[in-house]
């Protein structure tokens, strides 16, 4: 059985980790597609390397159980993509298979199509809900400067300038994409004679 994919090519230049962070602060929460970030092909390649044999085995088992007629399968789980794109990290990839099987003389002919999806969210650069700029600057701006300005005010001196908080927040955004595929091939009804299942 062979799986061919559609909708995984194209996209712009690959985003760096800094591009993901910049979009968190400047993108106003606008979601992006993985293709838009330039990483769809690499992520799909890694995903298929992990699941292609299992998908084929699962469909072969369904085909053997049905023998003639339509078959469907739904699948999803979290996959670690940190080694491919650090900013995407662990992400949910899933999909649905819909196809037909026909038996003739102990051989099953299987054909069908896949609809795949990826769903993720870039919540914040440190994955803690806030992004601290710099510890030293944070201490100075949030403890020393207010205390200095308070003491200057008590002695009649003007404050040294506006206080700048050391915490910045951004807008979380979704990272999604969809692609499709086709499966076709023949397998033996007897799993002991087959490479699948």
pLDDT tens digits for range 69-127:
999 999 999 999 989 998 888 999 999 999 999 999 999 999 999 999 999 999 867 65
Confirm if 14 and 38 have CB atoms less than 8 A apart: yes
Gap between the Cα atoms of 153 and 146, Å rounded: 10
pLDDT at 126: 65
> Looking at the domain assignment, is residue 32 inside a domain?
yes
Residue 167: per-residue pLDDT? 54
So what's the pLDDT on residue 138?
55
Q: Is 197 among the domain residues?
A: no
Residue 196, in any domain of the structure: no
What percentage of residues in the chain have a pLDDT greater than 70? 78
Number of other CB atoms surrounding residue 63 within 10 Å: 28
Mean per-residue pLDDT, 59-64: 96
- CA proximity to 195, closest of 53, 18, 74: 53
- CB contact at 8 A, 152 and 160: yes
Domain-embedded: residue 28: yes
**If we measure between CA atoms, which residue out of 177, 176, 173 comes closest to residue 22?**
173
Q: By residue range, what is the domain housing residue 135?
A: 131-168
* Residue 74: both structure tokens together: 């739904």
| Region 15-24 average pLDDT | 92
């Amino acid at each position: 059985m062979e799986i061919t994919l559609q909708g995984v090519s194209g996209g712009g230049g690959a985003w760096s980790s800094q591009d993901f962070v910049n979009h968190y602060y400047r993108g106003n929460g606008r979601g992006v597609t993985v293709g838009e970030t330039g990483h769809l092909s690499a992520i799909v390649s890694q995903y298929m390397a992990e699941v292609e044999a299992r998908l084929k085995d699962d469909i072969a088992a369904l085909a053997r159980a049905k023998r003639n007629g339509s078959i469907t399968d739904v699948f999803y789980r979290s996959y670690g993509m940190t080694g491919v794109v650090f900013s995407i990290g662990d992400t949910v990839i899933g999909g649905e298979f819909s196809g037909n099987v026909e038996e003739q003389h102990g051989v099953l002919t299987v054909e069908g199509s896949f609809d795949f999806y990826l769903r993720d969210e870039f919540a914040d650069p440190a994955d803690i809900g806030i992004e601290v700029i710099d510890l030293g600057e944070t201490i100075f701006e949030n403890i020393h400067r207010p205390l200095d300005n308070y003491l200057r005010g008590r002695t009649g001196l003007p404050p040294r300038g506006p206080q700048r908080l050391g915490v910045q927040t951004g807008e979380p955004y979704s990272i999604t994409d969809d692609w499709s595929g086709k499966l076709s091939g023949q397998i033996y009804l007897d799993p002991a004679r087959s490479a699948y299942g």
